[in-house]
């Protein structure tokens, strides 16, 4: 089953009839999905079901064989990742893509500079950028790590630093690919408890790919379940998990 949300809320992103194949693998099979302004949408599904592919499509890393994605009504499927970021979509990857040799603060200053299209290490000394970066570091509770090089951060902090870097781009849509993977059970809640108020306060919409069902149940407003490149269910977590077939396919 592939579904489209019926909603009166403002539509931020809309994917229509998206298909992608990699050789014999169908990674997206006629995907139709609407993301509403302000929601935190969970994307679940077994390994290889096409979740990251969808994020790659939304950010211009992959072009679909068919279909279109619109952001605020504007087609983005043909745009470069950089152009899409400028429109207001930022992402953190399944494996953090931080500036590994930079400190937490330096990399966030670079994120702020990138948002302002002034891209140089000298920007670290620009008071405006530095002030914005300090605020982001504080908001994410990263003050104790501000001067630590990213490569030396504990895994949970690295994830938060990567998300903070994405937020430095001031997106209206944030895409996160497994923000709590490789993190201890205690720290996964720290990540989400830090992130959620930031999203709510800033009104940033989020699509979060997540394998951890505790996280999905606790934090996501709405959930979309993926299998073999298709959306097989969409709705509240409890309703989706009530369906035995869907539960087996997404957790299996
Ligand atoms: N660039 C690529 N080239 C070839 N095959 C790819 C490529 N990207 C994804 N695939 C294949 O497409 C399918 C969907 O992959 P995708 O990474 O989207 O899955 P996923 O749901 O994110 O899985 P996981 O939970 O393991 O991260 C898989 O079979 C994968 O091997
Ligand atoms: Mg993935």
The enclosing domain of 38 has a CATH number of 3.40.50.300
If one counts the domains in the chain, the total is: 1
For residue 210, the CA-to-ligand 1 centroid distance in Å is 15
Residue 87 is assigned to a structural domain of this protein: no
**Cα angle for residues 62, 164, 88 (degrees, 5° grid):** 45
Do 212 and 45 form a contact (C-beta atoms < 8 A)? Answer: no
Pocket residue to mutate for ligand 1, from 49, 181, 229, 231, most atoms within 8 A of Cβ? 49
Determine if ligand 1 sits within 6 Å of the CB of residue 249.
Answer: no
Nearest ligand 1 atom to the CA of 46 is: 25
Domain around 70: 1-79+178-183+209-252
222 pLDDT tier (thresholds 50, 70, 90): very high
Using one digit for the tens of pLDDT, what is the confidence trace for 180-219? 998 998 899 999 999 999 999 999 999 999 999 999 999 9
Provide the pairing of β-strand 11-22 with 66-71: antiparallel
Residue nearest atom 9 in ligand 1 by C-alpha distance: 53
Determine if ligand 1 sits within 6 Å of the CB of residue 181.
Answer: no
How far apart, in Å, are the Cα atoms of 105 and each of 149, 180, 192? 9, 22, 21
Pocket residue to mutate for ligand 1, from 29, 53, 54, most atoms within 8 A of Cβ? 53
Residue 73 is assigned to a structural domain of this protein: yes
Residue 115 is assigned to a structural domain of this protein: no
Provide the pairing of β-strand 222-227 with 40-45: parallel
For residue 28, the CA-to-ligand 1 centroid distance in Å is 10
Burial of 158 (0-12, 13-18, 19+ CB in 10 A): buried
State mean pLDDT over 96-100.
Answer: 67
Residue nearest atom 27 in ligand 1 by C-alpha distance: 47
pTM attached to this predicted model: 0.93
1, pLDDT greater than 90: no
Residue nearest atom 19 in ligand 1 by C-alpha distance: 48
Residue 33 is assigned to a structural domain of this protein: yes
Residue nearest atom 1 in ligand 1 by C-alpha distance: 22
5, pLDDT greater than 60: no
Residue 204 is assigned to a structural domain of this protein: no
Determine if ligand 1 sits within 6 Å of the CB of residue 52.
Answer: yes
Nearest ligand 1 atom to the CA of 45 is: 21
70, pLDDT greater than 70: yes
Close Cβ partners of 244 (under 8 Å, ≥ 6 residues apart): none
State mean pLDDT over 141-159.
Answer: 94
């Amino acid at each position: 089953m592939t579904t489209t949300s019926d909603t009166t809320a403002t539509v931020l992103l809309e994917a229509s009839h998206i298909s992608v194949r990699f050789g014999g693998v169908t990674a997206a099979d006629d995907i139709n999905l609407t993301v509403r302004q302000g929601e935190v949408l969970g994307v679940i599904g077994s390994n290889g079901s096409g979740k990251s592919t969808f994020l790659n499509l939304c950010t211009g890393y992959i072009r679909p064989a068919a279909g279109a994605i619109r952001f605020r009504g504007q087609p983005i499927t043909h745009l470069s990742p950089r152009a899409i970021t400028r429109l207001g979509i930022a992402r953190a990857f399944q494996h953090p893509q931080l500036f590994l040799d930079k400190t937490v603060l330096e990399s966030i200053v670079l994120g702020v500079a990138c948002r302002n299209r002034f891209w140089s290490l000298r920007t670290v000394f620009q008071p405006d950028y530095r002030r914005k970066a300090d605020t982001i570091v504080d908001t994410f509770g990263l003050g104790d790590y501000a001067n630590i090089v990213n490569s030396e951060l504990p895994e949970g902090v690295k994830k938060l630093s990567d998300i903070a870097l994405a937020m430095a781009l001031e997106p209206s849509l944030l895409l996160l690919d497994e923000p709590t993977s490789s993190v201890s059970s205690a720290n996964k809640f720290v990540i989400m408890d830090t992130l959620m108020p930031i999203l709510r306060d800033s009104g940033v919409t989020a699509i979060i790919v997540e394998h951890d069902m505790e996280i999905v149940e606790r934090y996501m407003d709405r959930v979309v379940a993926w299998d073999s490149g298709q959306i097989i269910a969409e709705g509240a977590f409890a309703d989706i998990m009530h369906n035995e077939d869907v539960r087996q396919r997404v957790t299996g």
